[in-house]
Structure 1
Amino acid sequence: MASIYDTLLDRGYIKQVTHEEELRELLEKEKITFYIGFDPTADSLHVGHFVQMMVMTHMQREGHRPIALLGGGTTMVGDPSGKTDMRKMLTKEQIQHNAECFKKQFSKLIDFSDDKAIMDNNANWLLGLNYVEFLREVGALFSVNRMLTAECYKQRLEKGLTFLEFNYMLMQSYDFLELNRRYNCVLQMGGDDQWSNIISGVDLIRRKESKPAYGMTFALLTNSEGKKMGKTEKGALWLDPEKTSPYEFYQYWRNIADADVEKCLALLTFLPMDEVRRLGALEGAEINEAKKVLAYEVTKLIHSEEDAQNAKNAAEALFSGGQDMSAVPTVTIDKDTLGCTIIDLLVSTKILPSKSEARRLVQQGGLTIHDEKITDANMVVTEDKFKDGSMLIRRGKKNYNRIVLE
C-alpha cells in the first residue's frame, strides 16, 4: 500500500522538502500533526488555496492531524512573498470576519470534530508579544545577511522593503515554534513561494528545542505556460458561491486548456491516478469528456453534488441550443436602467469589471445577445432587446449571463 508521501508525490503536489528521507520514514511510522497557514486578507478562499485544502484532506484521510492556522496577527503585517507592492492594512474586525468565512469553507473538506483537525489563529500569541523578549528569543537567531538572499525579499528590495514586512519571516517562524510547543506540530506545509519562511521555522525549532521539525512545499497551481491559474476576467476564482457562482466555477474548469487537464485532475480531485492518467491521455474532441469530469468533480467538492449537476445540465443545454437557465448567473434590473449603452449595462451589472474590457469584447466580436453578434459598442439597450423579460448574453464561446427585466 502506498504511503501518504508516495500519494502526494504521485499526484504532483510535492515541490521541495527538508530532510526528505527522515520525513518519509516518519509519515510511514507515525501519525503526526502538521500545519498550513492562511492569511485572511479577503472574505473568501480562492482556487489558489484549494490545492492546500486538498493536501490537508489527503493527510487527514491517512490519520494525520491538520492545523489550519489563520494569520490574524501576520495579516496585520502582510506577507511580502510574491508581491512587488506592500499589502493594504486591514482592521482587526475585517480580519476576524474573513477568518470566520474561511472556517466555513475549510469545513467542506476537513473534519474538525473530536480534535481530528484544529483551527487556530496566530493573533492569539503574536498580538500580545513583548517586543524586546521576542527579539531576544527569536530575532537573535536570524541572520539579516541570510534573510536578504530569500526570494520573498529580493523582489521587494527593488521597490523598497519596509521594516514591518521584514519581520514577517520571524513571525511565521515563531508560529511554527508556538504550534510545536502547543500541539507537537512537526511539519509545516505551504505553497512554494513560502519556502524561505518554512525553512526558517524548521531551523528555529531545531535550534531552540533541539528536536526534529520538517517543511514541505507544493507546486503553485499554474497552467502549461507557467501562469497562475484561477484568474478570470472578473478577478480571482473564489470558492464563495456569492463571489463566483457554481455555474461560473464549473465553466472555468470545463474550458481549461487541454494540456492542463491531467494535472488539475491529479491535484484537485480524489479520482484514482489510473483514471486521471486515462482521462489525461484522451485527445481531440474526446478530451472534452475529461474536462466535464474535472469540472463536475471540482464543483462537487467546493459546492455540492446538486450544484455540480445543475451547472452541468445548464452548460449542456445552452451548448446544445436548449434553454435551461437554472444555473446561469442572473442579475435583475428595473426598467429605469433601460436607455443606457450595452457597455454601461455590462459594467453596472458587474458582468464585466470595466468599460475598456467590455468595449474590447465587442470590438473583438466576442459579445452575443440571443445568438446575435453585437458589433456596436454604443448600442442602446431598449425593452425590445429582451425576450420574455430576459436577455441571454454570451461572452466568447461558452460564458453565459442572463439579465432579467423587473
Structure 2
Amino acid sequence: MNKVLEDLEWRGLIAESTDREALSAHMDAGPIRSYVGFDPTAASLHIGHLTQLMVVRALQRGGHRPLLLVGGSTGLIGDPKQTGERVMNPVETVREWVESLGEQVSRFVEMDGPQGAQLVNNFDWTSRLSALDFLRDIGKHFSVNRMLDRDVVARRLDSGISYTEFSYVLLQSLDYRELYREYGCTLQTGAQDQWGNITAGVDFVRRTEQATVHGLVTPLLTKADGTKFGKTESGTVWLDKELTSPYAFHQFFLNAEDAKVIDYLKVFSSRSRDEIEELAHKVETEPFRREAQRALADDMTDLVHSVEERRAATEAAAALFGRGDLAVLDESTLRHAVAEVGVQDLECGAELPLVVDALAASGVVPSKSAARRAIDEGGAYLNNTKVTDTEQLITAEDLLAGRWLILRRGKKTVGAVELRRS
C-alpha cells in the first residue's frame, strides 16, 4: 500500500475509500492534486475540521499538493442536516466567514513550495451559472431515485426537506468536476458524513469527463460512550481563541478519556508511531500519570495556538491548583482561567468583604458557616495562601488584575469571584 495511505490507516483516518488499490497505485505513480472543502457556516473552524486538515498535512508530507476549498456558494445553501432545515445566513455574513476560514486553514498547512496548498472558492464558478445551465448541464446527470436513497435525505423525508438542501449534492459534485478540469484534481477527502456527496462527485466526473477520480473519508471522532467528540457542556471546541480560549482548549484535551486518548493522538499529533506506542503502554501501566493526555493537550495547543499560549495555559492551570504563582499570570490568561473554573459576582460597598464571604460566593463551600469550618480545619485558601483567620478581610492587594479572587478548598475544589462595587 502507498506509504501515505498506510500511515493514514494506522492513524485511524480512513473510514471508506472508493477503490483503495487503485488510489494507492495512483499515488505511487506521482504527486496528485487533492481537495477538501469547508463550508462557512460559522466564523471559525472547529475540531472536526482540524481532522481534515491533518489528512491534508499527511498528503503534503507524502509529496502531494492539496486544494483547500472554502465554499462561498455551498455555504449560502447548506449541506442537509439530519435534524432539520438549516437557517440561511445573510450573504454578507457568509462572505466574511469565507475570508475568516480561508485565513484559518492557511495556518495549518504549507502554502508555499512544491507541495504548497492553494485556496479556492466555489463561488467563482457557481456564480457564473444560469438556472438553465445548472439544470441542463448538471441536473441531467443525477437520478432523483439515487438522491432519495442518500441517508440524510431519507431521514428528512418525513419531516420535510427543501429543494435547496436536496440539491446541495449537485453543487458539491460540480466542485469536483471544476477542480478536475482546472487543476487535474483526482482525490476528494472529507468526513464520513460526506461520503454520499463525495461518491456522487466521483460518479459525476466519470459520467461527464470519462475520468477516474477517487474519494476518501475519515471516521467521525467519538468519545468512549459513542457521542460526538469536540463538544463540551458550554458548546463546540473552536480553533479561534476568542471562541475557545487556549486555556479551555488545553484543558479539553487534558481531560481526554484513557480509552480514547491514543486514538486522538494518532489523529492530531505528529509524533512518531514509536512515541505514540510508548504513550499507549504508559496508559496501560501508569494511567494515573496521564502522560498521554499531557502530550495530546500540549501538541494540540502548540499546533492550534502557539507554544507561548500553551505555556501560559499550563502555568495558569498549575497556579489555580496551588502549584504556581497566580500573580505572574497576565490579565487575558486569568480571565479565561477564571471563566473555566466558574467565576461568580461578589457585590460589596465601600468596604471590602470578608474572605468567608468570598469563599461562600465562589461555591467552593455551600455557606458562610461551612467557610468558617474550612478555615478552622486548615483547608481554605485565598489566591493559594492558606487562610487562618475567619475574620480576615479581603484587601486591594488580594485582587488579581484589580478584580478577581481565586478561592480553594483542599487541593481540588477551586472557584473564583469577581468583585463588583455597588
TM-score, normalising length: structure 2: 0.80
Code of the aligned partner of 1:91: P
Residue type at the aligned position of 1:113 = D
What's the counterpart of residue 242 of structure 2?
Answer: 242
What amino acid is aligned across from residue 272 of structure 1 in structure 2? S
Inter-partner Cα distance in structure 1 for 2:28 and 2:417: 52
Unaligned residue ranges in structure 1 (runs of 5+)? 341-366, 377-382
How far residue 322 of structure 1 moved from its aligned partner, in angstroms, is 3.2
Q: Secondary structure at 1:68's aligned position in 2?
A: strand
Distance in 1 between residues matched to 2:414 and 2:13, nearest whole Å:
30
The aligned residue for residue 308 of structure 1 is 310
**In structure 1, what is the equivalent of residue 390 of structure 2?**
none
* 2:99 alignment partner in structure 1: 100
State the Cα distance separating 1:84 from its structure 2 match.
Answer: 1.1
Asked if 1 retains the 8 angstrom alpha-carbon contact of 2:2 and 2:25, the reply is: no
Helix, strand or coil for the counterpart of 2:149? Answer: coil
Indicate the residue corresponding to 1:273 in structure 2: 273
Q: Does 1:44 align with 2:58?
A: no
- Structure 1 residue 26 corresponds to structure 2 residue 26: yes
Greater alpha carbon shift after TM alignment, 183-192 vs 84-93: 84-93
- Which position in structure 1 is the counterpart of 2:320? 318
* Distance across 1 between alignment mates of 2:417 and 2:60: 41
In 2, Cα distance between equivalents of 1:198 and 1:183: 18
Q: What is the CA–CA distance in structure 2 between the aligned matches of 1:404 and 1:270, rounded to whole Å? A: 44
Between the aligned partners of 1:170 and 1:210, the Cα distance in structure 2 is 18
Residue identity opposite 1:111 in structure 2: E
> What residue in structure 2 maps to residue 189 of structure 1?
189
- 1:77–1:164 Cα contact (<8 Å) kept: yes
Q: Which segment is superposed worse, 99-108 or 247-256?
A: 99-108
Q: Which amino acid aligns with 2:56?
A: M
Q: Does the CA contact (< 8 Å) of 1:172 and 1:201 recur in 2?
A: yes
Distance 2:419 2:119 in 1: 42
The Cα of 1:276 is off from its aligned counterpart by 1.1
1 CA distance for matches of 2:259 and 2:248?
21
C-alpha contact (below 8 Å) 2:70/2:120 kept by paired residues: yes
Amino acid at match of 1:94: T
Contact preservation (8 Å) 2:14, 2:218: yes
For 1:126-205, list aligned pairs within 5 A. Answer: 126-205=126-205
Give the aligned CA root-mean-square deviation in angstroms: 2.9
TM-fit CA distance, 1:99: 1.4
Change (3 A) 1:119 1:280: same
Residue 323 of structure 1 deviates from its aligned partner by: 3.6
3-state SS of paired residue (2:66): strand
Q: Deviations over 1:234-253 (max 9, x none)?
A: 21101001111111100000
Contact persistence 1:369–1:392 (CA under 8 A): no
More off after superposition, 259-268 vs 274-283: 274-283
- Letter in structure 1 aligned against 2:191: G
- What corresponds to 1:80 in structure 2? 80
Structure 2 counterpart of 1:373: 364
Q: Would you say the 8 A contact 1:330–1:402 is kept in 2?
A: no
1:259 alignment counterpart: 259
Cα 1:328/1:277, change in 2 over 3 Å? farther
Q: Aligned in 2, Cα 1:369/1:122: closer, same or farther, shift over 3 Å? A: farther
Call closer, same or farther: CA 1:398–1:199 in 2, change over 3 Å: farther
> Could you tell me whether the CA contact under 8 Å between 2:320 and 2:414 is conserved in 1?
no
Distance 1:319 1:240, change over 3 A: same
| Aligned residue-pair number | 370
**Aligned partner (choices 329, 333, 345) of residue 335 of structure 2:** 329
Aligned in 2, Cα 1:328/1:19: closer, same or farther, shift over 3 Å? Answer: same
CA shift at 1:391, angstroms? 2.6
Partner SS, residue 189 of structure 2 = strand
**Alpha-carbon spacing, 1:135–1:239, altered in 2? closer, same or farther (3 Å):** same
Instruction: State the shift of 1:398 in Å.
Output: 8.3
Residue 111 (structure 2) aligns with: 112
Please name the residue that 1:348 is paired with. none
Contact 1:54 1:267 (8 Å CA) reproduced: yes
Query: What are the within-5 Å matches in structure 2 for residues 192-231 of structure 1?
Result: 192-231=192-231
The alpha carbon displacement at 1:374 in A equals 4.3
Partners of 2:250 and 2:127 in 1: CA distance: 40
Deviation at residue 223 of structure 1 after TM alignment: 1.3
> 1:177 Cα shift?
0.5
Q: Kindly provide the CA deviation profile for residues 253-312 of structure 1, in whole angstroms up to 9, marking residues without a partner as x.
A: 001111111001000110011211221232344451111111000000000111112212
- Is 1:289 equivalent to 2:295 in the alignment? no
Distance across 2 between alignment mates of 1:50 and 1:25: 27
Relative to structure 2, which stretch is displaced further, 261-270 or 303-312? 303-312
Structure 1, residues 346-380: CA drift from partner, whole Å, max 9, x if none? xxxxxxxxxxxxxxxxxxxxx9879862437xxxx
Distance 1:50 1:399 in 2: 32
Cα distance in 2 for residues equivalent to 1:402 and 1:274? 45
CA deviations over 1:48-104 (Å, ceiling 9, x no partner): 1110011111111221111111111011111004x3111111122111111111122
Amino acid at match of 1:183: Y
* Residue identity matched to 2:335: P
Q: CA deviation at 1:35?
A: 0.5
* Letter of the structure 1 residue corresponding to residue 86 of structure 2: R
Partner of 1:10: 10
Change in CA separation of 1:402 and 1:26 when aligned onto 2, cut-off 3 Å: farther
Q: 1:132 to 1:399 in 2, by over 3 A?
A: farther
Q: Name the larger-Rg structure.
A: 2
